[in-house]
Amino acid sequence: MVQGVDSTRARPLPRGPHRLTREEVERSQRDRLLMAAADAVAERGYVATSVEDILRRAGVSRTTFYQLFDSKSDCFLAACSMAAEVVATVMANELAHLEGNHAATPAERLDRLLTAYLQTLVDHPALARVFLVEVYAAGTAAIQQRRASLDQFVDLLVATQHGPGGLLGAAPDPRFAAEVFVGAVSSMVTNLVGVGEIDRIVELREPLMDLATQLIAVGEPT
């Protein structure tokens, strides 16, 4: 089960009488629809996916779908948010672990965060395709949502790598340097997911870390 979605809520509801509240039933149905939307879009592409495709995978009625979402686009945007939440949760958890390790260098901290990010994409290929590739087929709102997720990654990089000893400490414009690095990461992983080579994503860790450490020299006196 994908992190960020309660495994008990995303399972099919029990047949017959049950003790679930109306709110619990709706949360379960919503989570099932989000996962179904992600799986359907990852397999068929956003344009080719219909509401019926999502309903068939989720085992939810059309009436229920339109009680929870206005349209396929609305459901897909929520699925994109779920994918972003999965990534953000993994990164936050890794950062929390790192905060207790005062001996870790800035480069080691970035390496751990980058590794966690790359492995999360490999572990959840459907969400990776939704988050990185199909989002661009869903219109401006979805692209803006994706951009906001990238900005969060930039903010995290600046917060953990700026200042004395940080990989961005010598950069004349730390945020721009962080944006360059995040852009490189996004472009490389998106290309691999787009051509179906998601298992190769972990191979990017070493060259991307080499790129990051080269930022140390930016702006340093020669």
CATH number where 204 lies: 1.10.357
Local structure of 93: helix, strand or coil:
helix
Q: Which of 76, 94, 73 is nearest to 84 (CA)?
A: 76
Residue 58 lies in a domain: no
Q: What is the tally of structural domains in the chain?
A: 1
Residue 181 lies in a domain: yes
| pTM for this predicted structure | 0.80
Of the listed ranges 47-51, 56-60, 99-103, the least confidently predicted one is: 99-103
Q: Which of 166, 52, 150 is nearest to 104 (CA)?
A: 166
Of the listed ranges 43-52, 96-105, 119-128, 163-172, the least confidently predicted one is: 163-172
- pLDDT band for position 19 (cuts 50, 70, 90): low
Residue 167 lies in a domain: yes
- pLDDT band for position 215 (cuts 50, 70, 90): low
Residues 6+ apart with CB under 8 A from 2: 35, 82, 86, 124, 127
Is the per-residue pLDDT at 41 higher than 70? yes
Tell me which residue range forms the domain holding 193. Answer: 79-217
Residue 37 lies in a domain: no
Residue 190 lies in a domain: yes
Contact present, 201 and 121 (Cβ < 8 Å): yes
Residue 122 lies in a domain: yes
Residue 43 lies in a domain: no
Residue 40 lies in a domain: no
Residue 12 CB neighbour total at 10 angstroms: 11
Tokens coding 214:
């080269």
